[in-house]
Structure 1
């Protein structure tokens, strides 16, 4: 008997509900800032990726409005037909200059950028070796590729070398890693990864979604942090949301990379170009972070303070090296309970459990931003201390 749509939907939702995995996103009633309103409640926001506080910044809004009025609400077509506006190319030149790369191309999101770039570069006979904790967009992008796919243990240089030794090929060799890992907040050992990749004639591919705007001079990212920004054998991809406060994805690297992606990357070929207001806001973000170093200074001052105080209270922050600051609760039910209790105290911080993170490693992931004040963080720490003691975590 044929399964009806209603039966399928009901069965899937029931399964999620019974396993405790059914998501009901909280709704923001105001702009995404360090202090906002969520489901009608005033809260300190530790759940956002808005690292530099750009999502509601006046400079971004002003340039977005300017581009909207001059260039219209939408681009009107895909880039390869009639959707490439002069401002698209100007921003890509600005981005390549910022990243110190030979070229840059903007796509619709960080997720589709991984699909487009990996799907374009990799062919049958190639070898791609991916860190076991890489983002879901990398995993999905690799599913589209016909290359031989192997995984190395997280940030384990010896295991990477073992995989490369055991899988010789005359094709392209691509070592793929996140720059900053989004669940644990650790930084990839890119200096060692690039060294091993080069030893075997390979190319290093870095998804810098959480490193761009956070690491390196003026937020140029993990690649710049390790000194590889002018290297043609290192490809940078990432998102234009998070630190940049807007939306989109980018690929930056070898001077020929852009042209190949224009011709082959399917998300680029079959998606309408970014709206002018988005381009304007992004251009303003790059200008702002380079002209005013105080954004990154506040981001890191706040990060160091918050981490140190959480550890002083007795919390396990899982070795995080970046503004992504996980607090370990262990079991999924405990992390979710802690999130609810923190919300009651006016702190918006989301619990994460299996399958997003491994069993026994459930946590609340906090992200400190440049916009948080010391008062915000001290209030959050008081709430954490209260909830941690109630749940017996500290």
Structure 2
């Protein structure tokens, strides 16, 4: 028998933590929506290769909607796959020099599902201490043992590996460009350690696909690494490619396994066919844009460091520039000054984030205006 009085007392005493943190309705939340015109330049939007402004891509999207509609409303594993999905998977596999590929509806899901489909509870997975949220989510789902090494430090990775003596499967997950710091992964050094200890390598390429390497193939092209040395390449299509969705590329056997065990592939509605066509067209139009963008990224980085005297955390060829200014009050001052002058970018917990657009190379007046505003902002805190 249950003591009714005791039960009521315990029920009254039960005060669980809230499932979510309430938002203060009186607190102002800034939503950055910039209408680009003669007075405003949008460097907050991720549009590295300017595909969002491409009329040929817009026309392709419109034509596909007229033929296929706006979506299948079903997951890839059932009735969510069209011939266009297969075409994109073939093209992405060829671009990345991998045997096969999967296309996901959402970039976050592509990354987390790619990890959870292969890593299990008994496995050990080595990740960077600054790993992005989708990687962490994938490992939460996998319930593997996670070992973190110092940011972009192959030597610390090796030291951590040497301590894991248990005979079990081991994986390394690295980001081409860190979402949090903008720093470039020293991939050859990491692969050397992984091969020495027979560790499988997963490479996340969200911010390197399309902008690194002569043809935009990413870090394998940039470092001249045989893609076969990497077990899985995955990431979002939401950077240089200018669409939503994600991908995962590997061997035929790995992708077949992925089709059966990738939760996002099995249970999430597929990427709408017109957006699949957008990705296909974006890849088709890459041309020399990756090389042009690399030149812009390096010259922009040099300007920020030499002319503005800013501390730029990100790599010189990174598609976004992460600037850290102390004290934070000065960081806010720079952000506010540029916003008032019509140059818009992001301020977050990591610092100031400027997303580059290759279009600036063809519009010299706008690029010079960006330089002028940033230089003026730097003089405020000199």
Q: Same fold (TM over 0.5)?
A: yes
Instruction: Give the 3 Å change call, closer, same or farther, for CA 150–238 of structure 1 in structure 2.
Output: same
Task: Choose which of 27, 32, 48 in structure 2 pairs with 1:26.
Answer: 32
Give 1:3 deviation, angstroms: 7.5
Name 1:387's counterpart in structure 2.
377
Q: Is 1:370 aligned to residue 368 of structure 2? A: no
Paired residues in the alignment total: 366
CA distance in 1 between partners of 2:196 and 2:48 (Å): 35
Q: Is the 8 A contact 1:127 1:169 kept in 2?
A: no
Comparing 307-316 with 132-141, greater Cα deviation is found at: 307-316
TM-score norm. by structure 2 comes to 0.89
Query: Which runs of structure 2 are paired with 1:194-213 in the superposition (5 Å)?
Result: 194-213=191-210
Gaps of at least 5 residues in structure 2 are: 1-11
Give 1:231 deviation, angstroms: 0.8
CA distance in 1 between partners of 2:108 and 2:132 (Å): 9
Give 1:4 deviation, angstroms: 11
Name 1:303's counterpart in structure 2.
297
Q: Is the 8 A contact 2:182 2:321 kept in 1?
A: yes
CA distance in 1 between partners of 2:209 and 2:224 (Å): 14
**Structure 1 segments (4+ residues) deviating >6 Å:** 2-5
Query: Which runs of structure 2 are paired with 1:131-150 in the superposition (5 Å)?
Result: 131-150=128-147
Query: Which runs of structure 2 are paired with 1:183-332 in the superposition (5 Å)?
Result: 183-231=180-228, 233-289=230-286, 292-293=287-288, 295-313=289-307, 314-318=309-313, 320-321=315-316, 322-332=318-328
CA distance in 1 between partners of 2:82 and 2:121 (Å): 35
Instruction: Give the 3 Å change call, closer, same or farther, for CA 4–13 of structure 1 in structure 2.
Output: farther
Q: State the secondary structure of the residue aligned to 2:233.
A: strand
Give 1:226 deviation, angstroms: 2.0
Q: Is the 8 A contact 2:314 2:320 kept in 1?
A: no
Name 1:32's counterpart in structure 2.
none
Q: State the secondary structure of the residue aligned to 1:92.
A: helix
Q: Is 1:74 aligned to residue 71 of structure 2? A: yes
Larger-gyration structure (1/2): 2
Gaps of at least 5 residues in structure 1 are: 30-35, 358-362
Task: Choose which of 313, 331, 335 in structure 2 pairs with 1:335.
Answer: 331
Give 1:23 deviation, angstroms: 4.1
Give 1:329 deviation, angstroms: 1.2
Task: Choose which of 9, 12, 15 in structure 1 pairs with 2:22.
Answer: 12
Name 2:8's counterpart in structure 1.
none
Query: Cα deviation per residue 1:250-298 (whole Å; 9 max; x = unaligned)?
Result: 0011222221111111111111111111011111011111xx21x2233
Instruction: Give the 3 Å change call, closer, same or farther, for CA 8–128 of structure 1 in structure 2.
Output: closer
Name 1:165's counterpart in structure 2.
162
